[in-house]
Structure 1
């Protein structure tokens, strides 16, 4: 996590706590010629545009006061989406019992993607049930884990 991401997390937490939101992630990265500061929030029942606007206005005001960014940037506050990557222990708890897709950095048995029911995260090991077979993956070997969305 970059210094800017850490500072942003610290700055935004009061409005997150006050409004019972969950801070899902903060990203600060360059895309093309622009820098983006993205803040992803969630709450029970989902995030509305009003929620995003509230956090955006609060954060924008605080960032203007402190001015920790040297580059000009675009601030975005949004919901992480229904297929957001699982990152925190809370995410793993929330999505326990759901179908997830795991992508690995290195193939196992010539496969880099696995789909199964998430059993949980235990001591840095992700457990899934894939076609009735329990599989275990070390979290450091996983490039991405996200819910599988079926329509």
Structure 2
């Protein structure tokens, strides 16, 4: 109904038009936001991939989305293609896989929190590289995926140590 009153494509229409083409290009649509109250009105497509999105990928997806959405007879709007923000909670196994090697804060079902570098997710268990003790020795702690009630990637201002990346299952450049 909203599409009739605003003249904008609906979230469903955008997903139906773009999902197959984005998937063929190697990207997933994480979300679509249609904001008729913005001036000018805005349609935002949030996409992601295992390697993340760089500026070239965003430009490619923007051209692709624009060409496909131009086929709709709709009111004018601004189209934005973007990646998920770093503060987006990790809610699916795919999110955990894509965040591997990143620093995360986990909230567990008992209310405690853990901060460390995200390792591999295997058989419902997440490896988390943590610093132990006063000397800060690195170790991998296994955390049951089902015990995690919230997981958020942390912003880092300096590169992690090679040892930390190695324990997280990364070789350094693919994070």
Q: Which TM-score band (shorter chain)?
A: 0.5 to 0.7
The question of 1:14 aligning with 2:20 is answered: yes
Over alpha carbons, which structure has the higher Rg?
2
Give the CA deviation at 1:76.
0.3
The match for 1:60 is 66
Coordinate RMSD, CA, aligned: 4.1
Give the CA deviation at 1:150.
3.5
**How many residues were matched structurally?**
138
Query: As a proportion of its length, which structure holds more strand?
Result: 1
Give the CA deviation at 1:136.
4.4
Gaps of 5+ in 1: none
The match for 2:111 among 108, 112, 130 is 108
Q: In structure 2, what is the Cα distance between the partners aligned to 1:122 and 1:29?
A: 37
TM-score after normalising by structure 1: 0.58
Q: In structure 2, what is the Cα distance between the partners aligned to 1:134 and 1:140?
A: 12
Gaps of 5+ in 2: 1-8, 133-140, 159-175
How do residues 52-91 of structure 1 correspond to structure 2 at under 5 angstroms? Answer: 52-67=58-73, 73-80=77-84, 83=86, 85=88, 86-91=90-95
How do residues 17-56 of structure 1 correspond to structure 2 at under 5 angstroms? Answer: 17-20=23-26, 22-30=27-35, 33-34=38-39, 35-42=41-48, 44=51, 46-49=53-56, 51-56=57-62
Q: SS state of the match for residue 149, structure 1?
A: coil
User: Is the Cα–Cα contact under 8 Å of residues 127 and 137 in structure 1 kept in the other structure?
Assistant: no
Q: What CA deviation, in whole Å up to 9, does each residue of 1:95-146 have, x standing for no partner?
A: 3354212368x9825xxx54123243755x766455455544647832x522
TM-score after normalising by structure 2: 0.52
